[in-house]
């Protein structure tokens, strides 16, 4: 009589094939890799935004990003200093204008957004390949002034 051979290889492969995705998804949900979603808020081209830029003329420092690594590094440092100064002083007259040339790369745009995240200016608008950074209002009100009652019509 020929002994009956058991086929453990097929059963083991089936168990690994079915169990691995289940364990992988359990691990990913436990670590919160799958459930965390992040986004960068960016305003898109809109007639109202262009109107807001046209009505509030400011002295913009123009930062031209060309795609040349050395030039762009110096320009990004200049931009970060300018955004920091404008944000710290709550300056509503000055602003920073990033112009991304057709040879600029995506990581330079991300670096500009990182500058905005670190320095926290009040407003910024993205129109085509232009990024405008500015303050719309001054939070330095008169400290000793009386409160003026609000009248709603």
Q: Is the pLDDT of residue 12 over 80?
A: no
Question: Half-sphere exposure of residue 135, counting CA atoms within 13 Å on the CB side?
Answer: 20
Cα–Cα dist 49/34, whole Å: 35
In a domain, residue 7? The reply is no
Give the count of domains, the chain.
1
Residue with tokens 């129109």: 127
The predicted structure's pLDDT at residue 141:
47
What percent of the chain is predicted at pLDDT more than 90? Answer: 17
Q: Which residue, among 55, 142, 41, 48, has the nearest Cα to 92 in the 3D structure?
A: 55
The predicted structure's pLDDT at residue 124:
84
Residue with tokens 């970060």: 80
Question: Half-sphere exposure of residue 54, counting CA atoms within 13 Å on the CB side?
Answer: 6
In a domain, residue 76? The reply is yes
Its pTM surpasses 0.75: no
CB atoms within 10 A of CB 116: 20
In a domain, residue 82? The reply is yes
Nearest-10 Cα torsion for 126, 127, 129, 131? -40
Query: What confidence tens digit (pLDDT) does each residue in 119-142 have?
Result: 888 888 888 888 888 887 654 444
In a domain, residue 105? The reply is yes
Where residue 116 sits, what CATH number does that domain have? 3.30.110
In a domain, residue 90? The reply is yes
* Domain that residue 56 falls in: 47-134
Structure-block tokens of residue 140: 């330095």
Query: Which DSSP string do the residues of 45-102 spell out, in sequence order?
Result: P-HHHHHHHHHS--EEEEEEE-S-HHHHHHHHHHHHHHHHHHHHHT-SSEEEEEEE-T
Collapsed DSSP state (helix, strand, coil) of residue 148: coil
């Amino acid at each position: 009589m020929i002994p009956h051979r058991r086929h453990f290889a097929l059963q083991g492969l089936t168990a690994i094939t079915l169990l691995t995705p289940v364990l992988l998804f359990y691990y990913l949900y436990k670590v919160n890799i799958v459930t965390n979603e992040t986004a960068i808020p960016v305003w898109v081209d809109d007639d109202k935004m262009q109107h807001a830029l046209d009505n509030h003329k400011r002295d913009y420092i123009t930062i031209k990003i060309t795609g040349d690594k050395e030039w762009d590094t110096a320009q990004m440092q200049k931009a970060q200093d300018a955004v920091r100064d404008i944000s710290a002083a709550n300056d509503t007259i000055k602003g920073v204008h990033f112009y991304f040339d057709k040879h600029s790369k995506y990581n330079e745009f991300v670096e500009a957004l990182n500058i905005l995240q670190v320095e926290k200016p009040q407003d910024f608008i993205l129109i085509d390949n232009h990024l405008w950074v500015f303050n719309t209002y001054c939070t330095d009100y008169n400290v000793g002034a009386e409160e003026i009652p609000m009248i709603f019509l």
